[in-house]
Amino acid sequence: MTKHNKYTVMGFKALQRAAAKVAEDARNNDYKIPVWRNGRIVYIIPGEATEPVAAGDSQGPRHFDRTK
């Protein structure tokens, strides 16, 4: 496993905290979050997170997609 620079890890954790706050605000206020998928922008309303997203998770965050 590669050892990461401590500032890289700190920055990644800060981005995760910021994304969690944005998702929580969107859930509380029924806001839509724009996400780029399959070459276009899709608006989603995030659902309750059931588990934290690991750094190597290729599926991305868990959310409810109302576009389908």
* Tokens of residue 29, six digits: 């206020």
Q: pTM to 2 decimals?
A: 0.56
Query: How many CA within 13 A on the CB side of residue 24?
Result: 6
pLDDT digits (tens), the chain, 68 positions: 578 799 999 999 999 999 999 999 998 998 998 989 999 999 988 876 544 555 544 445 555 555 54
Alpha-carbon gap, residue 26 to 48, rounded angstroms: 11
- Angstrom distance (rounded) from CA 68 to CA 47: 15
Q: Are 17 and 24 in contact (CB under 8 A)?
A: no
Q: Which two tokens stand for residue 35?
A: 């996400």
The secondary element (H helix, E strand) that includes residue 34 is: strand 33-37
